């Protein structure tokens, strides 16, 4: 749009509507290249119609007051420009300019209360709105008015909508009449809206929650209906693009959601971009399920498709499902950068629970900074095979067309991994593998480029660290699959390179999904949501398959058959049973996932002779054997090894007893009683004042006398 320097070149506009607004006018840039404003020229007698039209804005209804005004009389100016004013009035939205909301205050220059017309209904309703425009009645042409719109949007200084239906924090004049809505009900309603549940069902659950506090009332139901409709409209109209520039947009989001950001480092010449997100609910879950338990990591998600990869910290909830408790968006995983946000996260948890401690940290990437994790969490590090298994199986199915070759390649790769404890040279086994399947050019090209250079590092990590169980691996994979389904939907492919879109998806849809899952399980409501949540991992789906549905090849142990629970005429074949690298012909397994049939077959095989133990149990045996190994001489090292072994054995026995017990009272009654002396029980936690004073101090007598006086008073009262 060209910049106009003369009022004479601005077209005069007179819309035919009785009332009109800024959207009905064509705006012109007036001024020069260094400074210009958006202006429109209308008849002066239509100014009131314009102001009324601006007040009736559907998205931000308001009233405008005169913040400042000046007048001149005709003949005062001997020389004047074509834009000089005869009357000057600055109109400001009545929800500003002051901000009486959270973090707001009176303008520093305001020494008195303005006695202006058309102010907002109450001072506390002012939210720092910056929307304002100037009306100039032209000195040269008094019948015309020049409108200069400085800020059209109803936003505060942070750039967020601060009133109206699109404002999430808007209360309105009837706030005292609105029924009580606790955080739990609000989060429940928001989660259902984000998940696309019909509004009728949302309203029904919302009213049920409100009636627990307010009772049954027709007016309450009416207000609840309005609330749900308004909240749905806000969520549907909300967008991740707070600004066209991605960096500016994410800064605005951070400014508004300070409580959900535990670490932020903006991009600079020396520092990479890092954004750590954790909502208050996620913090509660991390403290609850992470204390004295295992914390896991789903690392480097979306390396190829997202602008910045996503790192997720997870805990295992009461059903051992992986629950995301923190997201970190960054491209840098160097030791100094990881140390920054990890320490910030732990400090945040310990500010709420000072004794918060992790018993183990589960990784899925052999390139992770293991020493750093040990130092920060002060716990052992475990390794999960799920990422290796999934990557190999997906590419085998994708790049090899023959199913017999697919299962044989997968079996041979599994054998190479299993031989890390067998003393067999991995290089020779790998060389033979490459020769045997040299005709599978597509897969071999992928394997040589992606895995061959770093395979020794991965095998070394598997050999040197305890391996996670199939249940934990299945839970991590279930989270990964759900995350992928939420983010890589075809409708969002154009937004993958924006950080604000990723943050919006994580904190709205994904967060709401996990919140509703946990709420449905703990409150025993939303039965369909609860059932879907319980069956979201392959381990729990395998528990629904009865043992009689599985038949084994007792002769050669080559395969197992599992009868489908949905269609009894359908049977799935699991090859290489008893191994983490078992191959199933079901559709879920052919997508690279750990299916319920493989898990169920391995559950049965682990108790039978002739089948190799799972890799997690094998690594557990290796740990015990390392502790149990007798030193060459009968030295103190033998005592230390024996003490560690018995300590671990005692903890395992207690854990097994607790898990297998159906009555917690029996476990408590079997615990040994620990008595202390009567004096110790009475004065425990109370420091002795006499011990704190030096011997011979003059204050000692006064202390003793004070105690005697108190005792005499108590005795006198009893008499």
pLDDT at 397: 93
pLDDT at 63: 85
* Whole-number Å distance between alpha carbons of 541 and 321: 12
Whole-prediction pTM value?
A: 0.68
* Whole-number Å distance between alpha carbons of 8 and 129: 33
- Three-state DSSP at 43 gives strand
pLDDT at 526: 83
pLDDT at 226: 78
Half-sphere exposure in the Cβ direction for 229 (13 Å, CA): 6
* Whole-number Å distance between alpha carbons of 480 and 470: 15
Residue spans of beta strands (DSSP E) within 587-685: none
Query: What are residue 248's phi and psi, to 5 degrees?
Result: -65, -40
Cα 364–chain centre separation: 19
pLDDT at 692: 41
SS3 for 407-464 is HHHHHHHHHHHHHHHCCCCHHHHHHHHHHHCCCCHHHHHHHHHHCHHHHHHHHHHHHH
In the chain, which residues have pLDDT < 70?
1, 100-125, 165-183, 212-217, 220, 237, 423, 490-494, 627-635, 637-638, 640-641, 664-665, 667-668, 671-719
pLDDT at 144: 93
> Is residue 69 a contact partner of residue 88, using CB atoms and an 8 Å limit?
yes
* Whole-number Å distance between alpha carbons of 322 and 558: 32
From 381, 373, 565, 597, select the one nearest 470 (Cα to Cα). Answer: 597
From 21, 28, 16, 17, select the one nearest 146 (Cα to Cα). Answer: 28
């Amino acid at each position: 749009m060209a910049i106009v320097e003369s009022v004479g070149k601005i077209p005069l506009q007179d819309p035919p509507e009785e009332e009109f607004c800024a959207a009905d006018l064509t705006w012109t840039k007036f001024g020069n290249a260094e400074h210009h404003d958006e202006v429109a020229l209308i008849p002066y007698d239509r100014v009131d119609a314009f102001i009324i039209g601006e007040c009736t804005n559907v998205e931000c209804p308001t009233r405008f007051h005169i913040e400042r005004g000046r007048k001149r009389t005709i003949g005062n100016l001997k020389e004047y420009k074509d834009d000089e004013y005869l009357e000057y009035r600055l109109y400001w939205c009545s929800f500003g300019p002051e901000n009486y909301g959270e973090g707001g205050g009176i303008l520093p220059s305001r020494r008195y209360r303005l006695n202006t017309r058309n102010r907002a209904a109450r001072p506390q309703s002012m939210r720092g709105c910056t929307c304002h425009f100037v009306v100039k009645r032209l000195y040269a042409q008094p019948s015309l008015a020049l409108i200069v719109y400085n800020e059209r949007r109803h936003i505060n200084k942070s750039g967020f909508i601060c009133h109206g239906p699109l404002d999430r924090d808007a209360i309105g004049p009837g706030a005292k009449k609105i029924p009580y809505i606790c955080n739990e009900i609000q989060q429940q309603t928001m989660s259902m809206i984000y998940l696309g549940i019909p509004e009728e069902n949302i309203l029904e659950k919302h009213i049920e929650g409100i009636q627990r506090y307010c009772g049954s009332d027709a007016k309450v139901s009416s207000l609840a209906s309005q609330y749900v409709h308004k909240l749905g409209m806000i969520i549907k109209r909300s967008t991740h693009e707070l600004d066209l520039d991605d960096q500016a947009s994410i800064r605005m989001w951070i400014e508004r959601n300070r409580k959900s950001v535990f670490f932020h480092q903006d991009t600079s010449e020396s520092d990479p971009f890092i954004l750590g997100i954790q909502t208050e609910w996620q913090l509660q879950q991390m403290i609850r399920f992470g204390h004295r338990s295992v914390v896991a990591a789903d690392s480097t998600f979306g390396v190829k498709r997202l602008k910045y990869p996503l790192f997720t910290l997870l805990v295992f909830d009461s059903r051992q499902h992986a629950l995301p408790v923190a997201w970190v968006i960054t491209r840098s995983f160097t030791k100094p950068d990881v140390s920054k946000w990890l320490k910030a996260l732990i400090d945040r948890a310990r500010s709420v629970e000072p004794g918060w401690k992790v018993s183990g940290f589960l990784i899925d990437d052999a390139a992770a900074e293991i020493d750093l994790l040990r130092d920060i969490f002060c716990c052992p590090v475990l390794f999960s095979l799920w990422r290796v298994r999934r990557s190999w199986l997906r590419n085998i199915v994708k790049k090899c067309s023959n199913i017999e070759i697919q299962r044989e390649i997968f079996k041979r790769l599994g054998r190479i991994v299993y031989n890390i404890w067998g003393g067999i040279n991995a290089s020779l086994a790998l060389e033979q593998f490459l020769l045997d399947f040299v005709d599978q050019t597509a897969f071999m090209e992928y394997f040589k480029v992606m895995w061959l250079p770093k395979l020794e590092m991965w095998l070394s990590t598997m050999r040197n660290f305890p391996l996670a169980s199939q249940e934990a691996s299945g839970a991590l994979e279930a989270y990964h699959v759900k995350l992928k389904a939420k983010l890589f939907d075809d409708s969002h492919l154009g937004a993958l390179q924006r950080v604000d879109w990723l943050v919006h998806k994580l904190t709205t849809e994904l967060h709401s999904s996990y919140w509703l899952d946990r709420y449905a399980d703990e409150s025993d409501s939303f039965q369909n949501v609860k059932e879907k949540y319980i069956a979201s991992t392959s381990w729990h789906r395998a528990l629904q398959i009865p043992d009689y549905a599985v038949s084994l090849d007792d002769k050669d142990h080559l395969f197992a058959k599992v009868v489908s629970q949905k269609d009894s005429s359908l049977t799935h074949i699991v090859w290489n049973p008893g191994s983490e690298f078992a191959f199933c012909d079901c559709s879920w397994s052919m997508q690279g996932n750990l299916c319920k049939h493989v898990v169920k077959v391995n559950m049965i095989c682990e108790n039978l002779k002739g089948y190799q133990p799972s890799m997690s149990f094998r690594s557990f045996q290796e740990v015990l054997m390392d502790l149990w190994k007798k030193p060459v001489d009968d030295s103190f090292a033998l005592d230390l090894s024996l003490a560690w072994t018995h300590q671990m054995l005692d903890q395992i026995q207690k854990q097994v007893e607790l898990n297998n017990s159906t009555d917690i009272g029996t476990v408590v009654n079997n615990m040994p009683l620990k008595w202390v002396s009567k004096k110790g029980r009475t004065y425990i936690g109370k420091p002795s004042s006499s011990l704190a004073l030096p011997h011979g101090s003059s204050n000692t007598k006064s202390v003793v006398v004070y105690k005697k006086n108190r005792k005499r008073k108590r005795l006198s009262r009893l008499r």
